[in-house]
Chain A
Amino acid sequence: MDYIKYKILAKQISQTKGVAELIEKAEDEDIELVWHRFLKQQPQCAFGQLGVCCRNCNMGPCRIDPFGTGATAGICGATADTIVARNILRMIAAGAAAHSDHARDIMHVFEGTATGKFKDYTITDKEKLRNLAKALGVDVEGRKDEEIAIEVAEILKKDFGKVDEEPMALVKALAPERRLKVWEEAGVMPRAADREICECMHRTHMGVDADPTSLLLHGVRTSLSDGWGGSMTATLLSDVLFGTPKPIKSTANLGVLKENMVNIIVHGHNPILSAKIVEAALSEEMQKLAKDNGAEGINVAGMCCTGNEVLMRMGVPIAGNMLMQELAIITGAVEAMVIDYQCIMPAIVDVAQCYHTKIITTEPKAHIPGALHIEFDPERADETAKKIVKVAIENYKNRPKERVRIPKYKMELLAGFSVEAILNALGGSLDPLIDAIKDGSIKGIVGIVGCVNPKVKHNYSHVTLAKELIKRDVLLVGTGCWCIAVAMEGLMTPEASKLAGPGLRKVCEALEIPPCIHMGSCVDCSRILIALGAVADALGVDISDLPVAGSAPEWMSEKAVSIGTYFVSSGVFTHLGTVPPVLGSQKVTKLLTEDVEKIVGGKFYVEPDPVKAAETIYNVIIEKRKKLNLPL
């Protein structure tokens, strides 16, 4: 019997070159992939798709009949409105938890570096540390970096778990005044990252908050504790530890794997380990060891957001985005896939068993059965990284050479656009960008973020939406899997400005930047917030007045729900390309897509078709321009 039950139409699955041939290879070798598993899940339960299934207590599970003939309330009496709102709040909580816990890990290393406990890390960007300290009100004059860092860590640590009603210190320090006022008035000012997440779990417990509006407003607060708090902390401290990204050239797609080298893929989200793996792999000692083992050297490539982290700072090539993690192993050329956490499909262990690839888990909080666990300890970072690289090198001899197939496709890209780097490209001030927006050569800015999802054609919506928007003179900034998607399509090269409208093209050519700007990993959506805040302040308006929008065309993760919500809560019109599980309640749907705008200035808009979405997003930008009396 064939292991693969349904053969899939490989050529229709993805926008990205090289994907189809590896899917076909997997099918020839009887290896199941994410798309096969997706088909096996069909039909997917509509109670789940609509968000009307509640499993929060053991009187249940309960579900509401969407046709209105069966049950209209759960056993406790919770209606569809309550259940849908509770479920989406739990999604926000999980997303914010993932980001903020990631931030805590970086904070731990940051503090340990300052106190001298972790000797393998250094404070790389001293200027950024000082700027952050000043923003937080820490005295920097005549003090040592380590002293400042310890004090900064103390303040940021409190942002996680403090119990008073004061806003989070980082939120107060970095969010624009006008925004703070909006949040204050709406009663959604975040007080502490862990507290808001904890309160989400409390409110959604049996018999607590049943009002959809109140539940969703807490969702707004929780998401803000992520965007302007947790994610922001992760970005800032990663920059301080590993350096603030500067424009850097690299390549993307599976063709970055090298036939005669030891290939190591770093996969996950946290740069603390992946940066060390890259350093270890580049060391002479390891390169020599690789040669002794018959390889020409060591090639480290990224996957997902840890890939984005090392791409932004070290120019490490990126092999693909989330749905391509199994395909990287299918090439047969990967000696080790080193993972930390988030967006790692447990299936990679099963796929790896069909090859020689070693899956190495490193985080105490992310184990996968069947993987090799080498626990990462920041106190012995270099040592652990070397140990991991050695495992990969020693595995090179086991590579099944006759089964290796690396697609030839790879694409040049220019990444590394932190807010500082953008300012630098603009000549030190925002003015050229503001002028371009004012005179209409750039109509607006759209931040595109988010995942890839087997519900839709892989990378198609990402690329189509991007092309449609740059054609209309809209500058794109983005993070995460979107960046990898458009980079593989060539949209992150300065030459891609040929595809842009005449106004945007002129700006891109003058500054030698691509029309799609890579701002980093998914926690780096916080960079987009900072950029929006700066543009708003420069124009003397609120973020919700700006001709800007957000989009997550192929989102799937709970983190994306949190990101989408903090975009909306920051005043941004936000497009979602896959339908969120809220349609079971008309009230919640209306709250998210209409009413929320009156409270925080932004709202959600759902449209799977990227061409239609681009048109609507553009129209929203034009409306905002009209209100600001800017030329159309």
Chain B
Amino acid sequence: MQAEKMIVYIDPERCTGCRSCEMACAIEHSESKNLFTAISEKPIPKPRIKVVVADFFNVPMRCQHCEDSPCIEACPTGAIFKSEEGFVIMNQEDCIGCLMCVMVCPFGHPYYSTEYKSIVKCDFCIDRVKEGKEPACVSACPTGALKYGNLSDILDEIRKKKAKLIISGLKVEGLVYTKQVEEKKEEKLNLPDLKRMYSQVSWY
């Protein structure tokens, strides 16, 4: 058992919706692990991650590898179980396609593939992680919307960032504890803004 919980932190503000993570996930779970050959494999390699549009944000939805996993509880054959590393993984052979895990997952993660005749779910790229690599989706993300690391390191980073925002008065207007630590840089493009521009004329 590892001492630290390894996680993938999702930052929807940074997701550009390019779906590179979906592509990388499918390739990682192919026979050949190569884009150019994976596309003609049978069964067709399938992504375990999906970028979903929610209001003005793109959210890469993946398995959260819950500590107390409802899917493990619900699986009648024990096909879904927890790995040594604490990842929620499954044994495809044991899956009977009863869809109990689909029904109990709070994130809508596992889905049924008619081609595989079983459930498909994220395995945290366990083989890659064991080799000391990041999960494929994280490596593929060009903007850092997906971040891999152990929970305490990531939390440290987030805490520092938020602290900086608070004392600079950038996040909470009027709430300036000390002098401004960061000059307001040239306005960066905000992707939700691009979408909001259409809000008056969109139909969907």
B142 within 8 A of A: yes
Bound-state CA distance A70–B191 (Å) is 16
Asked whether A45 lies within 8 Å of B198 as measured between CB atoms, the reply is: no
B3 within 8 A of A: no
A8 with B204: in contact, given A68-B188, A584-B189, A608-B198 (CB under 8 Å)? yes
A1 to chain B, nearest CB (A): 9
A423 within 8 A of B: no
Total residues of chain A contacting the partner, CB 8 A: 41
A58 within 8 A of B: no
Bound-state CA distance A321–B148 (Å) is 49
Query: Which residues on the B side are within 8 Å of A13 (C-beta)?
Result: 203
A372 within 8 A of B: no
Q: Which of B17, B142, B203 contacts A70 (CB 8 A)?
A: B142
B201 within 8 A of A: yes
Q: Which of A583, A586, A610 contacts B194 (CB 8 A)?
A: A583
Asked whether A49 lies within 8 Å of B203 as measured between CB atoms, the reply is: no
Bound-state CA distance A12–B53 (Å) is 19
B90 to chain A, nearest CB (A): 24
Asked whether A609 lies within 8 Å of B201 as measured between CB atoms, the reply is: yes
Query: Which residues on the A side are within 8 Å of B34 (C-beta)?
Result: none
Total residues of chain B contacting the partner, CB 8 A: 24
In the complex, which residues 474-523 of chain A have their Cβ closer than 8 Å to any Cβ of chain B? none
**In this complex, which of A66, A456, A461, A609 has the most chain B Cβ atoms within 10 angstroms of its Cβ?**
A66
**In this complex, which of A13, A38, A47 has the most chain B Cβ atoms within 10 angstroms of its Cβ?**
A47
Bound-state CA distance A66–B187 (Å) is 12
A67 with B201: in contact, given A43-B51, A45-B17 (CB under 8 Å)? no
Q: Which of B142, B197, B201 contacts A460 (CB 8 A)?
A: B201
A150 within 8 A of B: no
Query: Which residues on the A side are within 8 Å of B14 (C-beta)?
Result: 67
Query: Which residues on the A side are within 8 Å of B200 (C-beta)?
Result: 608-609, 611
A12 with B203: in contact, given A46-B17, A67-B144, A69-B143 (CB under 8 Å)? yes
Bound-state CA distance A455–B199 (Å) is 10
Bound-state CA distance A577–B204 (Å) is 17
Bound-state CA distance A63–B197 (Å) is 24
Asked whether B194 lies within 8 Å of A43 as measured between CB atoms, the reply is: no
A42 within 8 A of B: yes
Asked whether B203 lies within 8 Å of A456 as measured between CB atoms, the reply is: yes
A285 to chain B, nearest CB (A): 46
Closest to A455 in B: B198
Query: Which residues on the A side are within 8 Å of B203 (C-beta)?
Result: 9, 12-14, 35, 456-458
Asked whether A67 lies within 8 Å of B18 as measured between CB atoms, the reply is: no
**In this complex, which of A66, A67, A69 has the most chain B Cβ atoms within 10 angstroms of its Cβ?**
A67
Q: Mark B159-201, 1 if CB is under 8 A from A, else 0.
A: 0000000000000000000000000001011010010011011
A436 within 8 A of B: no
Asked whether A45 lies within 8 Å of B19 as measured between CB atoms, the reply is: yes
Q: Mark B48-71, 1 if CB is under 8 A from A, else 0.
A: 000101000010000000000000
B interface, over-half SS? loop
Q: Which of A50, A71, A579 contacts B197 (CB 8 A)?
A: A579
B121 to chain A, nearest CB (A): 21
A27 to chain B, nearest CB (A): 15
Bound-state CA distance A70–B146 (Å) is 13
A45 with B18: in contact, given A456-B202, A608-B201 (CB under 8 Å)? yes
Closest to A10 in B: B203
Query: Which residues on the A side are within 8 Å of B19 (C-beta)?
Result: 43, 45
Bound-state CA distance A493–B41 (Å) is 59
Asked whether B197 lies within 8 Å of A608 as measured between CB atoms, the reply is: yes
In the complex, which residues 4-21 of chain B have their Cβ closer than 8 Å to any Cβ of chain A? 14-19
A586 with B186: in contact, given A43-B19, A47-B16, A66-B16 (CB under 8 Å)? yes
A67 with B188: in contact, given A39-B204, A457-B203 (CB under 8 Å)? yes
Query: Which residues on the B side are within 8 Å of A35 (C-beta)?
Result: 203-204
Asked whether A46 lies within 8 Å of B16 as measured between CB atoms, the reply is: yes
In the complex, which residues 1-36 of chain A have their Cβ closer than 8 Å to any Cβ of chain B? 8-9, 12-14, 35
A619 to chain B, nearest CB (A): 19
B86 to chain A, nearest CB (A): 29
A43 with B143: in contact, given A9-B203, A67-B188, A583-B194 (CB under 8 Å)? no
Query: Which residues on the A side are within 8 Å of B202 (C-beta)?
Result: 455-457
Closest to A63 in B: B142
Closest to A584 in B: B189
Q: Which of B53, B186, B189, B201 contacts A66 (CB 8 A)?
A: B189
Query: Which residues on the B side are within 8 Å of A45 (C-beta)?
Result: 16-19
Bound-state CA distance A304–B16 (Å) is 33
Q: Mark B140-160, 1 if CB is under 8 A from A, else 0.
A: 001110000000000000000
Closest to B58 in A: A43
A629 within 8 A of B: no
Bound-state CA distance A580–B202 (Å) is 16
Q: Which of B53, B58, B143, B194 contacts A67 (CB 8 A)?
A: B143
Bound-state CA distance A293–B83 (Å) is 73
B157 to chain A, nearest CB (A): 13
**In this complex, which of B186, B189, B202, B203 has the most chain A Cβ atoms within 10 angstroms of its Cβ?**
B203
Asked whether A70 lies within 8 Å of B144 as measured between CB atoms, the reply is: yes
The 15 listed contacts between A and B (C-beta, < 8 Å) are: A12-B203, A13-B203, A45-B18, A46-B16, A50-B194, A65-B144, A67-B144, A70-B143, A456-B202, A460-B201, A578-B198, A579-B194, A583-B194, A608-B200, A610-B201
| 20 further contact pairs, Cβ within 8 A, besides A47-B142, A48-B18, A578-B198 | A12-B203, A13-B203, A43-B19, A43-B58, A45-B18, A46-B18, A47-B18, A50-B189, A63-B18, A65-B142, A66-B189, A67-B14, A67-B143, A456-B198, A456-B201, A457-B202, A579-B198, A586-B186, A608-B198, A609-B200
